[in-house]
Structure 1
């Protein structure tokens, strides 16, 4: 798979790539994102060493929640917004970043056809 810039546009492009996969392939990608989000993000997005280091230093709960949110968004094909809004020069300050994780996903199953519809959105944002 192609690596994309770690920008809102890059995340949208990655999601388009994932959405084009079969259900089985999307499930594997979602499982990978859920089980190891740091590896998934760093393998699929162009990031600075500081950004990768920050991801690796997240607390376990943050890492797991991030992975589950990404997996739900990618598997359900709902819009995923993921970005680091920290200016590169601010990395020198090395303070704690504020993390914002949000998810709004719902599923509806048609009892007559058995078809399931997934709607909602996913957001992951890191800022100083």
Structure 2
């Protein structure tokens, strides 16, 4: 898979790439991203050394929430917005970044056809 810039546009491009996969392939990606979100993000997005370091230093709860949220978004093909809004190196001395993870996903199943519709969005934002 192609590596994309770690920008809102790059995340959208990665999601388009994932949306083109079969359901079985998306299930594999979702399982991988749920269990190894740091590796998935590092392997799929161009990031600065500072961003890579921050990602590797996230606490376990943040890592798991990020992974599960991304897995839901990619599997359900709902819009995913993931970004770091911190200017490079500008505020490095201030300590930890603020983390925001929001997941709003719902599923509806048509009882007559059995078809399931997934709607919602996933947002992950890191900033100082």
Scaled to the shorter chain, the TM-score interval is: over 0.9
- Answering whether residue 17 of structure 2 is matched by residue 20 of structure 1, we say no
Q: What does 1:112-127 align with in structure 2 at a 5 Å threshold?
A: 112-127=112-127
CA distance in 2, matches of 1:91, 1:48: 14
CA distance in 2, matches of 1:105, 1:90: 35
Deviation at 1:90, TM superposition (A): 1.9
- Identify the residue that residue 64 of structure 1 maps to in structure 2: 64
Q: TM-score, normalised by structure 1?
A: 0.98
State the 4+ residue runs in structure 1 displaced beyond 6 angstroms.
none
Q: What does 1:1-128 align with in structure 2 at a 5 Å threshold?
A: 1-128=1-128
User: Which sections of structure 1, spanning at least 5 residues, go unmatched?
Assistant: none
**RMSD (Å) for aligned C-alpha atoms:** 0.8
Count of matched residue pairs: 128
Q: TM-score, normalised by structure 2?
A: 0.98
CA distance in 2, matches of 1:102, 1:92: 25
Q: Deviations over 1:26-62 (max 9, x none)?
A: 1111111100000000000000111111011000000
